[in-house]
Structure 1
Amino acid sequence: MIIIGERINASRKSIFEAIEKKDAKFIQQEAVNQVNAGAHYLDVNCGTNIKDEPKNMQWLVPVIQEAVDVPLVIDSPSAEALDSGLKLCKHKPIVNSITAEKERIKSIAPLVAKYNADVIALTITEEGMPHTAQQRLDIAKKIIEAVKEYKIDPERIYFDALVRPISTEPDQSKEFLKAIELIKTQTKSKTACGLSNISFGLPNRALVNSTYLAMAIYTGLDGALIDPTNKQMISILRAAEAITGQDEYCMNYITAFREGKCG
């Protein structure tokens, strides 16, 4: 499965301060640590200071690419900030993200097309977040139709069916897993998600997150936005891949164990 390293996000105080101070070494070490831990992509989010976001993105992307040679996920609600980062990417990027909202598609889909990027699509409409798996699938199909105008094929879309907190919406964990199955069987698109919402408000969040990741992998999840330096998370991920037949002869699991990355 695709591991997207989530740590370069300005919502984290240390990253915010590094961006403000233009501390390239700190950012680069975060990038290197995530790639060494197994990240295939790095998410790049510098969005707490909206006014300076395009300028910060222009600084951040080259700094990261000086240190690591992996593709990036350019993460912003701002079309201007996305454009600032996408034009500097050395490898085919992923845009994070679009929704089914018409204005969002109108502003972001042209950038996905312009840079031949893949895209994460959240199953959200103008009416808000869906409650059932079927509603999530219906929104996914709506997005697939809407972006045809921009020649964005379904295979380039990673649908995020929106993980919700089990502490407040316990039934939603099952609906999310059902949605993965529906999207995988009824479209040609892939699936991805951020996991941290599942454990919101709970103790030992890493345990809940990693357990749910294993369930999502079994259901068919293609990619996850996670902290790859979290050994528990990677251990569960590698074991789940092996158990579900996604790791031929368990080689990734064995290699990760030998390298001290899981266990």
Structure 2
Amino acid sequence: MLIIGERINSSRKSIFEAIKNKDTAFIQKEAVNQVTAGAHMLDVNCGTNFHDEISDMQWLVTKVQEAVNVPLVIDSPNPKALEAGLKLHKGKPMINSTSGEKYRMDEIMPLVKEFKASVVALAMDEAGMPHTAKERFDVAKKIVDYAGKYGVPPADLYFDCLVRPIATEPGQTKEYLDAVKMVKTIPDVKTTCGLSNISYGLPNRSLINSLFISVAIDAGLDSALIDPTDKNMIAAIMASEALFTKDDYCMNYITWFKEQQNSK
């Protein structure tokens, strides 16, 4: 599973202050800690201060890349901020995100093509938030077709089938899992999610998150935006991949377990 570290997001007060004060050491420590904990990519979002988002994104991408050697997920609703971050990125980035809305695809797909990026694609369009698995699947198919017009291959599309909070929409969990299974029937596409949405408003969120990621992996989830410093989450991912034949002979699980033992 592709683990995307979610912690460098200006919606967190500590990150907001670090970006505002240009606290390089704090940001770089967050980056290093996430990669050390198991993140394969790092999401970077500085959209809270939208007046300075472009310059903040340039600073953030530069400082994070100085500290770690993993690709970044450039995260913003603002195409100009996305472009600013993409221009400074080394290697293959990911863009977070497009949706199935035509105006948004017309903004984002040219950037995906120009910068040879992959992209998170939200399974929603002008009709609003989907309620059923089929609605999500239909949007995904539309995005695949539209992306093709821009020369963006299905392999660069990471579909987010939109996890909803079980505290307020318990029936949506099954619809989400069914949607992942359906989307995975589209050749070459991948799936991702903002996993912590599932536990919003509940106590002991780590427990809910770690159990949910297990069933999501079984359904076909390829990646997730998570807090990799949550050891319960990483343990759940490693065990789930071993259980659901995504880890040949459990070698990754065994290696991970030995590393945990040696670090004590």
- The TM-score with structure 1 as length reference comes to 0.97
**Identity value in percent:** 60
Structure 1 gap segments, 5+ residues each: none
Alignment of 1:235-246 (within 5 A): 235-246=235-246
Letter in 2 for 1:111: L
Letter in 2 for 1:210: S
Q: Deviations over 1:233-258 (max 9, x none)?
A: 11111000111111122222222222
Deviation at 1:102, TM superposition (A): 1.1
Q: What is the alpha-carbon distance in structure 2 between the residues aligned to residue 54 and residue 109 of structure 1?
A: 19
Partner of 2:226: 226
Partner of 1:65: 65
Q: Deviations over 1:72-102 (max 9, x none)?
A: 1000000000001001111100000000111
Q: What is the alpha-carbon distance in structure 1 between the residues aligned to residue 74 and residue 39 of structure 2?
A: 15
Q: What is the alpha-carbon distance in structure 2 between the residues aligned to residue 69 and residue 200 of structure 1?
A: 31
1:123 aligns with 2:123: yes
Partner of 2:182: 182
Q: What is the alpha-carbon distance in structure 2 between the residues aligned to residue 114 and residue 244 of structure 1?
A: 37
Letter in 1 for 2:193: C
Partner of 2:135: 135
Q: Deviations over 1:188-212 (max 9, x none)?
A: 3110001111111111111001100
Q: Deviations over 1:131-165 (max 9, x none)?
A: 11111000000111112221001111000000001
Letter in 1 for 2:114: K
Alignment of 1:161-240 (within 5 A): 161-240=161-240
Q: What is the alpha-carbon distance in structure 1 between the residues aligned to residue 173 and residue 236 of structure 2?
A: 18
**Cα RMSD, aligned residues only:** 1.3
1:79 aligns with 2:85: no
1:100 aligns with 2:100: yes
Deviation at 1:260, TM superposition (A): 2.0
Partner of 2:158: 158
Deviation at 1:187, TM superposition (A): 3.9
- Is the partner of 2:192 in helix, strand or coil? strand
- Is the partner of 1:43 in helix, strand or coil? strand
More displaced, 222-231 or 140-149?
Answer: 140-149
Partner of 1:45: 45
Q: What is the alpha-carbon distance in structure 1 between the residues aligned to residue 254 and residue 37 of structure 2?
A: 14
- Is the partner of 1:121 in helix, strand or coil? strand
Q: What is the alpha-carbon distance in structure 1 between the residues aligned to residue 260 and residue 11 of structure 2?
A: 29
- Is the partner of 2:152 in helix, strand or coil? coil
- Is the partner of 2:193 in helix, strand or coil? strand
Letter in 2 for 1:69: N
Consecutive aligned runs of 4 or more in structure 1 exceeding 4 Å deviation? none
- The TM-score with structure 2 as length reference comes to 0.97
Deviation at 1:11, TM superposition (A): 0.5
Q: What is the alpha-carbon distance in structure 2 between the residues aligned to residue 66 and residue 255 of structure 1?
A: 28
Deviation at 1:108, TM superposition (A): 1.2
Structure 2 gap segments, 5+ residues each: none
Letter in 2 for 1:97: S
Partner of 2:4: 4
Letter in 1 for 2:55: K
